[in-house]
Amino acid sequence: MMDDDERESGGHEGGGMMRWLITYADLITLLLAFFIVLYAMNRTEQIKFTLVAQALAQEFDSQSIVGQGLGPSIITANSGTEVQGTSVRELQSLSKLQSQLQTAIDQAGLGNQVSVTSNERGVEVSLNSTLLFAPGSANLSPAAVSLLERLGRVLATVPNDIEVVGYTDSTPIHTAEYPSNWQLSAMRAANVVYVLSRVPGIHPARLSLMGFGKYHPIASNATPQGRAKNRRVNILVLRSDVAEVAIGNGP
């Protein structure tokens, strides 16, 4: 059996151990609280940065960058330099391109036949087919070639890929050259691509084309006015993230 001195010595050692464990637990708790505070501060800074970046994007172009045009301005948490996969610099460049294209169209007096808009895929120029082709034909008029070259010089100022899409109305076509509206719309797009490919600064590898025929109308085919709107060729300057997905390099 332990005498009183041994029991007292053991009690001191046990008490010291308990006090040491309590101090260690307090230290761990304080460290945990410290890291939680650091994490919260970091999240606050990210939120502040996001708000500042959005405000700057809106300041550059409230309509085409973060409004109706190129989609909502959402800054990624990783870099702070991307808006839904597209850099803020690129969005600014596309916004400037849209303004330059509109200026070129206005100077040509074609504001009622050509529209320039922005959407989630990029900047789109929509040209009425009557401005470019004779009815049932895919041959570009000399004035149409001149207009496309003028627009091409503006398009050459950006490195983005360009997609050209042809559309027709629902009126059937059955000629030896164009058995259907598919062939007509595709050939119209191809001829526009050919002119653009000859503009200095536009590498042919940037260009692609599609023909949708009578499909994807933007107006009713029941009226002459609606059919006239549906006969069109669109030139779309693609955002880089959209172009990567289109060629299979995206996520």
User: CATH no. for residue 240?
Assistant: 3.30.1330.60
Which contiguous run of DSSP H or E holds residue 118? strand 114-118
Residue 80 counted as domain residue: no
**pLDDT, averaged across the chain:** 79
Residue 186 counted as domain residue: yes
β 232-238/162-167 pair status? antiparallel
Domain containing 127: what range?
A: 88-246
Sheet holding 232-238, edge to edge: 114-118, 122-128, 232-238, 162-167, 207-211
Query: Mean pLDDT throughout 115-129?
Result: 95
Asked whether the beta carbons of 174 and 150 are under 8 A apart, the reply is no
Domains held by the chain: number:
1
- Given a cut of 80, whether residue 7 has pLDDT beyond it is no
Q: What local confidence, expressed as pLDDT, does residue 40 receive?
A: 57
- Categorise residue 226: left if φ over 0, alpha if ψ from -120 to 50, beta otherwise: alpha
Residue 77 counted as domain residue: no
Residue 166 counted as domain residue: yes
In whole angstroms, what is the distance from residue 185 CA to residue 221 CA?
Answer: 16
Tokens linked to 88 = 């803020």
Residue 13 counted as domain residue: no
In whole angstroms, what is the distance from residue 13 CA to residue 111 CA?
Answer: 93
Residue 137 counted as domain residue: yes
pTM, two decimals, is 0.65
Asked whether the beta carbons of 37 and 30 are under 8 A apart, the reply is no
Distance from the Cα of residue 150 to its chain's centroid: 24
Residue 132 counted as domain residue: yes
Q: Give percent of the chain with pLDDT exceeding 70.
A: 65
pLDDT, tens digit, 9 for 90 and up, residues 35-79: 676 665 555 555 555 555 555 555 444 443 333 444 433 333 344
In whole angstroms, what is the distance from residue 159 CA to residue 237 CA?
Answer: 9
Q: What are phi and psi of 16, to 5 degrees?
A: -65, -40
What are the residues facing 53 on neighbouring strands? none
State the sign of the Cα–Cα–Cα–Cα dihedral 190, 193, 198, 203.
negative
Residue 18 counted as domain residue: no
